[in-house]
Amino acid sequence: MIPALAVADALRARDAEVSFITTRDRSGTGLPSRNGYEEHSVPLRGFERRFTPRNLLVLGRALLAVPRALWALRRARAGVVLTAGGYLAGPVAIAARLRRTPVVAMEADSRLGLANRLIAPLARTVALAWPLPGRTGSRYVVVGRPVRAAVTSATRTAGRRALGLPPEATVVLIVGGSQGARTLNVAAVDAFGEDPPFEVIHVTGPGQFDEVQSALARVGRHDRYRIEPYLDDLHNAIAAADLVVSRSGGSVFELAALGRASILVPYPFATADHQTRNARWLADAGAAVLLTDAECTGPQLRSLVGALLADRSRLDHMGKTALELAKPDAADRVADAVMAAAEA
């Protein structure tokens, strides 16, 4: 959802009217409207990756989603459709094709998801975060993963002020993504929960907040160890940090855009192992350290973090390298493709 919002912001800056089609009661629903965008919701759930009777119901809803998407596109007077992957993207792209509305597809991961593989033949342009094997030609453009302007404009000073952190403190941010990361959460508490030698901001994920809070209570939580279930302004926390310990989903582009050194712990069961690919993008360039999920223990995390914080020249070099890899104009480039499709 965040890459789509970044492109929406870029389009709105060009005086384009932007609205969203989202699924009901799913992650991201309501986020566009909270950011001032009209939002149309269509009831739909994803297929299970094995045959079950429930998939027959999902198939029926997917078929019904096409006329519902047609109605939403008609209400929005859509002149072009941007899809950002996910199971709703297919019915919306089909509805757009039925209306003869041009489609631009955006892939924000290091693999082309199933929905975008199906949509690609229908799309005028496919905007990729990374170069992908076999995806070449004029329709495929590599732009990076769009990040919002608030990310690229965030600063260390402003981030620390927003979070109430001392300007001179050493700060480590630990974040496992919106769903949390149990391995990383357990290792972080074991490594730093009792008496952290620096300021810790630990974003646990909403579903694991109580578990982490209880674990910290057992070791005697220190004032320097702050936990949050979720941060809407995560970019401020990244900007405020000296070092980030994180899963390696799409947030790697935010780390790059803000020039932050990181220790990345890929989720080992991510589809097509794309989080490992994301992590290697930064690690191979020297902007991050890749720590496997199996190796992510309290002692190992404490050792790695301590070694990096003790070597400020390496930490600074990692941050500068990350910044060199960033593609801060990705949202504008996707917006260019959308505007070109609308004017074709």
Looking at the structure, tell me whether residues 127 and 223 fall in a common domain.
no
Indicate the angle between helix axes 182-192 and 209-219, nearest 10 degrees. Answer: 20
In total, how many domains does the chain have?
A: 2
- In the chain, which ranges are E strands? 19-23, 38-42, 81-83, 103-107, 125-128, 140-142, 171-175, 199-203, 225-228, 243-246, 262-264, 288-290
Residue 87 has pLDDT above 80, yes or no: no
pLDDT tier at 222, thresholds 50, 70, 90: confident
CB 185 within 8 A of CB 200: no
Query: What pLDDT does residue 29 have?
Result: 60
Looking at the structure, tell me whether residues 203 and 273 fall in a common domain.
yes
Looking at the structure, tell me whether residues 197 and 137 fall in a common domain.
no
Looking at the structure, tell me whether residues 250 and 339 fall in a common domain.
no
Looking at the structure, tell me whether residues 155 and 84 fall in a common domain.
no
pLDDT tier at 63, thresholds 50, 70, 90: low
- The model's pLDDT over 4-53, given as tens digits with 9 standing for 90+, comes to 999 999 999 999 999 998 886 555 567 888 899 999 887 665 555 566 66
Looking at the structure, tell me whether residues 186 and 244 fall in a common domain.
yes
Using DSSP's 3-state secondary structure scheme, residue 70 falls into helix
Residue 237 has pLDDT above 60, yes or no: yes
Read off the tokens for 257.
Answer: 């855009």
Looking at the structure, tell me whether residues 167 and 293 fall in a common domain.
yes
Higher pLDDT, 207 or 50: 207
Higher pLDDT, 224 or 114: 224
Query: What pLDDT does residue 319 have?
Result: 97
Query: What pLDDT does residue 86 have?
Result: 80
- The model's pLDDT over 95-138, given as tens digits with 9 standing for 90+, comes to 999 999 999 999 988 888 888 998 999 999 999 998 888 898 88
Query: Which range marks the domain in which residue 163 is found?
Result: 150-325
Looking at the structure, tell me whether residues 176 and 64 fall in a common domain.
no
Partners of 200 in the beta sheet?
172, 225
Read off the tokens for 334.
Answer: 């996707």
Question: How many CB atoms are located within 10 Å of the residue 60 CB?
Answer: 10
Residue 311 has pLDDT above 90, yes or no: yes
Looking at the structure, tell me whether residues 135 and 187 fall in a common domain.
no
Looking at the structure, tell me whether residues 107 and 172 fall in a common domain.
no
pLDDT tier at 57, thresholds 50, 70, 90: low
Average pLDDT of the chain to the nearest whole number: 89
Looking at the structure, tell me whether residues 119 and 29 fall in a common domain.
yes
Query: What pLDDT does residue 41 have?
Result: 80
Query: Which CATH number covers residue 312?
Result: 3.40.50.2000
Three-state SS sequence of 119-141: HHHHCCEEEECCCCCCCCCCCEE
| Global pTM value | 0.84
Looking at the structure, tell me whether residues 143 and 157 fall in a common domain.
no
- The model's pLDDT over 157-183, given as tens digits with 9 standing for 90+, comes to 999 999 999 999 999 999 976 665 889
